[in-house]
Amino acid sequence: MSKTYVIGHINPDTDSIAAAMGYAWLLKERDGGNITAARAGATNPQTSWVLKHLDLRAPKLLNDASPHFEAVARRLDTTTPDAPLREAWAIASRTGGVAPVVDTDGKPFGLITGGSIFAYMSQRVGTHANRQEMKIADVLDAPSSEACNLDVPQLRTSGRIRDSLNRLLRYEGDNFFVVNDKGVYKGVCR
């Protein structure tokens, strides 16, 4: 079970510390769970005096409460580069248009999206130079690797979102891989 911290504002005063402690207590009593009061800075002398007078310990100091990618990643079903495109199509239809393609080591290979499927099919379906028609069913038998977007950023689960914002805003896609420190697929972030 993940831990939830209840925090007041930066440079906490007595009401900020008391509110965090009280709300953490309420949530824990009402909902159960792993809920802890915390603070976002050093306690001032007045707050330290109040806590000492009431024989209470100051809440844990959290230096950084920035959201990380592990908190926003969605774990989606995956397929392999050699699996037929129809398998990726089925996954994409269940996940809102996204199918992660992952190699046998669990590392991201590419991402199948509506745009990547359209780009692939526009090259394969219809009249070709040899004047033969291709059927969509034949195209869907091709390996998923042929219709992947290979230029998908990979973000670490432990990475802070704000540290990657500039990079993400420059990227033209809507989906990003989230991987652990070994580069293994953990989910997709939109």
C-alpha span between 6 and 25 (Å, rounded): 10
Domain ranges of the chain: 3-65, 71-189
pLDDT the model gives residue 74: 95
70: burial class by Cβ within 10 Å (0-12, 13-18, 19+)? middle
Instruction: Choose among 114, 81, 84, 79: nearest CA to 98.
Output: 114
Reduced DSSP (H G I as helix, E B as strand, rest coil) percent helix, strand, coil of the chain, to 5? 35, 25, 35
pLDDT the model gives residue 173: 85
Query: Which CATH superfamily hosts domain 71-189?
Result: CBS-domain (3.10.580.10)
Per-residue pLDDT of the chain (190 residues; tens, 9 = 90+): 678 999 988 889 999 999 999 999 999 999 998 999 999 999 999 999 999 999 999 999 998 878 899 989 999 999 999 999 999 999 999 999 999 999 999 999 999 998 998 888 887 776 666 556 667 787 889 999 999 999 999 999 999 998 998 888 888 888 999 999 999 999 999 8
pLDDT tens column, 139-171: 889 999 999 999 999 999 999 998 998 888 888
Q: Which residues contact 163 (CB under 8 A, 6 or more apart)?
A: none
Whether 41 contacts 11, CB under 8 Å: yes
Residue keyed to tokens 């089925």: 90
Please count the residues of the chain. 190
pLDDT the model gives residue 126: 65
